Amino acid sequence: MSRRYLGVLPHNDPMYTFLAHEVLGQVLGIHSPFARFDVHRLDRLAVAFEYRERQSGVALLGKFYGNKPLPFGKQVGSDHQAVQMQQEFAALHYLRTLGLDHTPCRVVRPLAQSEALNCLLVEEFVAGEDLLFFIRAAIEEGRSESLRTRLTELARLLAMLHDRTERWAPIDTAPVLAYLDKLIVQLTYWHILSLEQQQRLLALRAAWGKSLLLHGSRQVLIHGDATPANFIFQEGQGVIAIDLERLRLGDRAADLGCIAAELKHLFLWYGHDEGASEPYIQHLYQSYVNYMAAQDESLTSLTARGRFYMGCIELRISRNAWLDWPYRRRLIDHAMGCLAI
């Protein structure tokens, strides 16, 4: 996180009025005529900011969707960012009505939104350590049991999210396979894939398209961006999921495959050991099955589908330009191993 202190929020800033009166006063019931907010920018794109009120100690997260880059094909001036803001706000409220509003497994609390303030979403600011902290501690300090505990807590959260939002409809595989198509096109266009790797991936994609493996479950709501930075752990308080802007219907194995891919990548990148992540990946899946209520799922079926999503996320990670070429090629090779069918 790129954290930078920007100073105190001026009283004549429209943001001050919104935070002091609408968020603190109306939503939280804290009436402070002399509120002072210290402001920290949390990322280089100026999307996320922390606003900490000195007197009450209340910390808020401001997320400006108006500063997020528009997806390819979206025009400036469209309502895309406002719709994203509204969808995340509504999704967080909905998930909290399902019981994901208290420890040890919850989603961040949404507080307010304002399209006029650059498509602003205000949430509680969640302090704590993210999953990446515990992964690196396991790699660099040998704190393996701590990571296992956090993965157990995360598995419980995901099982609750998935079980409480399960639909009777089968998984729609079209967008899943389309995403793999997109990754292959991008990696080819950027000359990251060798010709041999491209041909191999196209063959694997065709095989998954013909296979019935991805059809073996019902739709659930998935986090959609289950990366280590999006799960915050507080001592004795369990795990909190943040950044649910990509929440959508999908396969429960997708979130598990994403975390598995991140574990594989991070143990390989920081620890230079391709096999060191395997016990933790197995622990994640087994913990999830232990908490899962769905009766028509098994460890075997989850890991079979999870391999597909794990391979896709490894391909996604290999797009990052800050990774060196030999490593990116190595990650692609492992992704093809996951996608082998």
Summarize pLDDT for 86-116 with one digit per residue, the tens.
999 999 999 999 999 999 999 999 999 999 9
Q: Same structural domain for residues 112 and 137?
A: no
pLDDT given at position 79: 87
Q: Does 182 share its domain with 138?
A: yes
| Full strand arrangement of the beta sheet holding 110-114 | 4-8, 37-41, 48-53, 59-64, 120-124, 110-114
Stronger pLDDT, 28 or 341, i.e. the higher one: 28
Question: Within this chain, do residues 155 and 116 fall inside the same structural domain, yes or no?
Answer: no
Same domain? For 134 and 116 the reply is no
Domain boundary (59, 92, 124) is at: 124
Q: Is residue 15 predicted with pLDDT exceeding 80?
A: yes
pLDDT of 261 above 80? yes
Residue 1 confidence class, pLDDT cut points 50, 70, 90: low
Indicate whether 213 and 276 sit together in one domain: yes
- What average pLDDT does range 237-247 have in this prediction? 96
- Residues 78 and 119 reside in one and the same domain: yes
Range of the domain at 226: 129-339
Exposure on the CB side of residue 42, measured as CA atoms within 13 A: 17
Model confidence at 69, in pLDDT bands (50, 70, 90)? confident
188 neighbors 233 (Cβ within 8 angstroms): no
Q: Are residues 31 and 91 in the same domain?
A: yes
Residues 8 and 95 placed together within one structural domain of the fold: yes
- Does pTM top 0.85 for this prediction? yes
Are 199 and 280 found together in one domain? yes
Give the distance from CA 190 to its chain's centroid.
25
Q: Please check whether residues 194 and 298 belong to one and the same domain.
A: yes
State in Å, rounded, how far the first CA of the chain is from the last one.
38
Q: Considering its fold, how many domains does the chain have in total?
A: 2
Q: Pick from 107, 124, 141: which residue ends a domain?
A: 124
Statement to judge: residues 273 and 184 lie in one domain: yes
Q: Is there a single domain that holds both residue 272 and residue 147?
A: yes
Which one of 100, 124, 148 terminates a domain?
124
